[in-house]
Structure 1
Amino acid sequence: MSAEYATFGLAPAMRAGGVLANGDYQVHRDFVDFIVNGQPLLFQLSDLDAVSPLASDVPPAIFTAQVRSLLLEADAPLEGGRYVIYGCPECADLACGAVTAMIEKLGEDYVWRDFAWQTDERADLELNGYHGIGPFRFRGAEYREALGSLLTGPGGERRRVLLIGARVAVLAKLAAALRTIGIGAEITRDAADVPADELRTYGAVAFGRAVGEQERASVRQAFERAGVEVAYVDGLAPIIPLLVAQIEHALDRSPRDQRRLTRLVAADGEAGVEVTSTCRVQLIAYRLDRLYRTHAYEVFDGVLDAGRHRLALDAKATKGEAFIVARTSGSVLVEAMAR
């Protein structure tokens, strides 16, 4: 094997869920991504909407089995000694397509090679191989330490949100939307009497615009007494897809330098977007009219190369009180349109 050594690591990652402009739902998935030579391996596979088998919402026994499989402590799940590296985020069915690879030991080292897109039991490397990706040779100690830490480390991500606000109808719709995409949500006005063990299960707190500073301070104090850090979200407007996107961003625990979408600004009829690798980017504009009715506009949907981009926005879509949601398969950002 002539492959040069590559570094191997793991990092938290997210497949952003959400309420899409057409009314469809996209499931939220937290997972552990493979970091090869300092960058997520997923980013080398074009604009792929997929997650690794190391997802936080799988039962612990299955999660452990996946880790031990990657350590070659169990037989390969597919023919020809092939392993699933990334699969469908909605159902994990091989028929939807998966990135697979051969994993083998070479002395103390581990080698990943022959990457392919696979939709049935056998992979066609000539037709569907990822030529130019790999082989990767990982030092055994580094590889085993990274994966072994998943067997002894803490549990999954805190994927629950506490919703606090005055408009119960809006909060109920928001909670329903979050639950639909796989994020737990509860509604309250006062967190003072919530047991500390329960507060520790939340990853974010979302405040409605009508919540006063005294109420906000009381909630923050309750979480401080419980000894837990959470992300606080100030709801921009009573628009459900917009609020879901804000919460999705708040729940993103992936390192900033390992995200695809890293910057969004919205001003002067333009959106400024920065991406770290070539990927599909969608921009949705939401605005409230004078009667507080919601209007949604898809203002951009295309593939952008790595770097910064300035995208013109339709004046009608950003009239009055407006907001922009930028989305890739792995992350989402939200900005109010500067006026």
Structure 2
Amino acid sequence: MPAEYATFGLTPAIRAGALLSGGDHQVHRDFVDFVVDGRPLLFRLCDLDAVSPLASDIPPAIFTAQVRSLLLETEAPLPSGRYIVYGCPECEDLACGAVTAAIERDGEDYIWRDFAWQTGEHADLERDGYHGLGPFRFRGADYRTALAALPAGGQGTRRRVLLIGARVALLAKLAAALRTIGVGADIAHDADGVPADELRGYGAVVFGRSAGPAEQDAVRAAFAAAGVDVPCVDGRAPIVPLLVARTEHALDRSPPEQRRLTALASSASAETAGGAAGGADAEVEVTSSCRVHLTAYRVDRLARTHTREVFDGVLEPGRHRIPLDPRTVRGESYLVARTAGAVLTTAVRR
């Protein structure tokens, strides 16, 4: 008797790019994630920074080959009928490690089983297997329909951002940072005269400090006339890593109900009359067990930016209160929370 069926689906996902402390960075990747029984499969892997083989930035021919491979129309790329389910987001080297699984046909059904972490040609299931994950049996018609519906170039995500403002010093730094992580960026005073086809290529708009309400309304009207509902980012804060994080959040096309990081808030009480710092904390909500990085940014009276890593740990599903050192969130302060595939930002309230 066949095992109980699991549902199979696909959903857009991102691996958010970032500027990291010490001058390092991680690249932005758009990809298609696998949804098993209504939940992204990647969420079952607690602390994994990885993307599926169905990435939107690979050439269409390679993307099509990946789809055909998952449909078992070509030979398995690894011994024992094993396929890469999630791989390194920075490169395609198996030596970096990948989640693999045996995929096979049973009549009309497709079965994914024996999930493992693999760094070489052969997987050691006893040592590196994801025990308790799978096997999953998918109805053949649903499985084939979901994969066949993918366009040749992925989900057609828009990884370009339009930066609007007359004072371009900060915007130029932001554009350079976005390009570093793989997101295209253009700077303009406004959107007047920009062809509709070009506007449709942007996934987000960032408004600089000089863009007032009238200029912002004109830009939104231009995108609306082009038939594009584009998210807009407040780019007034003079902190480039923070603006990168806000832009990454705006570029996230994954369904809100299938996101892992769902809420971020922070508050700090004022200093006491004697000059002592008040209390401060952050609230983070996640929908599945995952590693969360929390970074605080503060602008001092001389317009210098101070950065502090305030939390790095695995959180279980639910809402969590994280105490903060009040000295790290004095004055104009912001928090950025990251998981492997999502990012949220917030200003510290007082």
Deviation at 1:154, TM superposition (A): 7.1
The match for 2:148 is: 148
Q: Which residue is equivalent to 1:261?
A: 261
1:148-190 CA distances to partner (integer Å, 9 max, x unpaired)? 1004687520010000123311111111110110100000011
**1:318 aligned partner:** 329
> Where in structure 2 are the equivalents of 1:50-89 lying within 5 Å?
50-89=50-89
Q: CA deviation at 1:236?
A: 4.5
Following the alignment from structure 2 to structure 1, what is the Cα–Cα distance between the partners of residues 153 and 48?
28
Name the counterpart of 2:38.
38
Deviation, 1:2, is 4.4
CA distance change for structure 1 residues 53 and 94 in 2, over 3 Å: closer, same or farther?
same
The offset of 1:95, in angstroms, is 0.4
Q: Is 1:338 equivalent to 2:349 in the alignment? A: yes
Shift of 1:115: 0.6
The TM-score normalised by the length of structure 1 is 0.98
Q: Secondary structure at the match of 2:284?
A: strand
Deviation, 1:18, is 0.8
- The residue identity in structure 2 corresponding to 1:138 is F
Matched, 1:27 2:27: yes
Q: Which residue of 2 aligns with 1:240?
A: 240
CA displacement, residues 253-289 of structure 1 (integer Å, 9 cap, x when unaligned): 1111211100000113111000011111111110111
- SS class of match (1:150): coil
Partners of 1:236 and 1:336 within 8 A in 2: no
Tell whether the 8 Å contact from 1:191 to 1:222 is kept in structure 2 after alignment: yes
* C-alpha separation in 2, matches of 1:77 and 1:147: 18
Match of 1:129 in 2: 129
Among all aligned residue pairs of Structure 1 and Structure 2, give the percentage whose two residues are the same amino acid: 71
Matched-pair contact (CA < 8 Å) for 1:21–1:297: no
Query: Which secondary structure state, in structure 2, belongs to the residue aligned with residue 32 of structure 1?
Result: strand
Q: Cα–Cα, structure 1 residues 154 and 77, in superposed 2: closer, same or farther, change >3 Å? A: closer
Q: Is residue 326 of structure 2 the alignment partner of residue 305 of structure 1?
A: no
Aligned residues: 339
1:27-57 Cα shifts (integer Å, max 9, x gaps): 1101000000111111112211000000010
Q: 1:292 is matched with which residue: 293, 299, 303?
A: 303
* Rounded Cα–Cα distance in structure 1 between residues aligned with 2:343 and 2:310: 15
Query: Secondary structure at 1:248's aligned position in 2?
Result: helix
Distance 2:47 2:2 in 1: 29
User: Match for residue 271 of structure 1?
Assistant: 282
Counterpart Cα distance in 2 of 1:149 and 1:236: 41
Segment of structure 1 superposing worse, 280-289 or 166-175? 166-175
Structure 1: how far apart are the matches of 2:294 and 2:196?
39
Deviations 1:46-104 (A, max 9, x none): 21100000001000000000001101111111111110000000002100000001111
CA distance in 1, matches of 2:290, 2:99: 17
Q: 1:284 to 1:154 in 2, by over 3 A?
A: closer
Query: Is residue 223 of structure 1 aligned with residue 235 of structure 2?
Result: no
Check whether the contact 2:54–2:154 (CA below 8 A) recurs between aligned residues: no
1:329 to 326, 336, 340: 340
Say whether the 8 Å CA contact 1:281–1:328 is kept in structure 2: yes
Aligned to 1:186: 186
Q: Residue deviations 1:277-325, cap 9 Å, x none?
A: 1111111110111111111111111111111000011111100000000
Unaligned runs of 5+ in 1: none
Q: Contact 2:60–2:152 at 8 Å: present in 1 too? A: no
Q: 1:236 to 1:47 in 2, by over 3 A?
A: farther
TM-score norm. by structure 2 comes to 0.95
Give the SS at the match of 2:282. strand
Alignment-derived partner of residue 91 in structure 2: 91
SS of the residue aligned with 1:335?
strand
Q: Which amino acid counterpart does residue 60 of structure 1 have in structure 2? A: P
In structure 2, the gaps of 5 or more residues are 269-279
Give me the whole-angstrom Cα distance separating, in 2, the residues matched to 1:290 and 1:190: 31
Deviations 1:167-219 (A, max 9, x none): 31111111111011010000001111111111110000000133111111111
Letter matched to residue 38 of structure 2: G
Query: Cα distance, 1:23 vs. partner?
Result: 2.3
Residue 205 of structure 2: aligned partner? 205
Q: What is the rounded CA distance, in whole Å, between the counterparts of 1:153 and 1:25 in structure 2?
A: 26
Moved over 3 A (4+): 151-155
Structure-to-structure mapping, 1:161-172, within 5 angstroms: 161-172=161-172
In the alignment, the residues of structure 2 paired with residue 286 and residue 154 of structure 1 have an alpha-carbon distance, to the nearest angstrom, of 35
Rounded Cα–Cα distance in structure 1 between residues aligned with 2:154 and 2:2: 37
Give the conservation status (yes or no) of the 8 Å contact 2:50–2:86.
yes
